[in-house]
Amino acid sequence: MIEAEQKIKIRTVNLNLHYGSFHALEDISMDIQECKITAIIGPSGCGKSTLLRVFNRMNDLIPSCKTTGEIFLDEHSIYDKSVDVVEHRKKVGMVFQKPNVFPMSIYDNIVIGPRRHGIKGRRQLDEIVERSLKQVALWDEVKNELYKPAPELPAGAQQRLCIARAIAVEPDVILMDESCSALDPESTAKIEELMFELVKKYTIIIVTHSMEQARRVSDLSAFLMLNKNLVGSLHEYSPTHDLFSNPKSKVTEDYITGRFG
């Protein structure tokens, strides 16, 4: 069972999402706990990344996308007319599958967000850069080359820089969409170690195809599947240890043991 006393950071209630006539998600109701790592798992095409993008309203950028139901962040509807979408995305940051560093210096990659939100002072920006890079264990590697073009960094360091860029604006939630799938095992291990540090302060939601990663790093796991109508739905959601050691259904067991997916 989900811990009742744990504070809920994000709550979805009967969430449905359509792309035009295509029904992508159906009746998703779940509670995401604060300062926990939640893994979203499931076979390709079941709506994992779509669900992740709902949380910071990235799907708003798709004209044909329509969402019904409720999504709450700290008990406030993210679709309320009073919500500033830019401010919302500041609270809910995203790290993508492939490192998407900007074609500019390491320093400028990190300060782009704070500058957009009105921070102009050089001393304050310098402090943000140092704090963010230290949080992702990258400071010692790059502190003497902050004006080096970010695309020249190795892939693993680029991904940590993307995380540093996300936390530079001090979000509440970090979304990570297959953020280790393009990395080698050593870089993946560094990102996973980083998650354990960041979750002390941030709520983290990851999408992963790796059952081993979900088992290693997450506190809770949400298993999405295509239902009988071939629409992505929440099949099972529970603490990760329980889901992997004692799944509630044969379908879940078959997926986590690699029999399909």
pLDDT in tens, 214-256: 999 999 999 999 999 999 999 999 999 999 999 999 999 999 9
Q: Are strands 203-207 and 173-177 parallel, antiparallel or unpaired?
A: parallel
Average pLDDT, stretch 203-214? Answer: 96
Domain limits, the chain = 8-101+173-256
Report which residue type is found at 128. Answer: I
The helix (run of H) or strand (run of E) holding residue 83 is: none
Strands (E), the chain: 8-19, 22-33, 37-41, 65-73, 76-77, 92-95, 173-177, 203-207, 220-226, 232-239
Contact present, 205 and 175 (Cβ < 8 Å): yes
- The CATH number that domain 8-101+173-256 falls under is 3.40.50.300
On the 0-12 / 13-18 / 19+ scale of CB atoms within 10 A, 158 is buried
What phi-psi label fits residue 187: left (phi over 0), alpha (psi between -120 and 50 degrees) or beta?
alpha
Contact present, 203 and 32 (Cβ < 8 Å): yes
113 band by pLDDT with thresholds 50, 70 and 90: very high
Residue 2 has pLDDT above 80, yes or no: no
The helix (run of H) or strand (run of E) holding residue 42 is: none
Structure tokens at 61: 């950028």
Contact present, 166 and 135 (Cβ < 8 Å): no
Distance CA 170, CA 93 (A): 9
CB atoms within 10 A of CB 103: 9
1 band by pLDDT with thresholds 50, 70 and 90: very low
Structure tokens at 15: 């969430």
Distance CA 207, CA 79 (A): 23
Average pLDDT, stretch 182-195? Answer: 92
In the sheet with 65-73, reading across from the earlier edge strand, the strands are 76-77, 65-73, 8-19, 22-33, 232-239, 220-226, 37-41, 203-207, 173-177, 92-95
138 band by pLDDT with thresholds 50, 70 and 90: very high
Q: Please write the tens of the pLDDT for every residue from 13-69.
A: 999 999 999 999 999 999 999 999 999 999 999 999 999 999 999 999 999 999 999
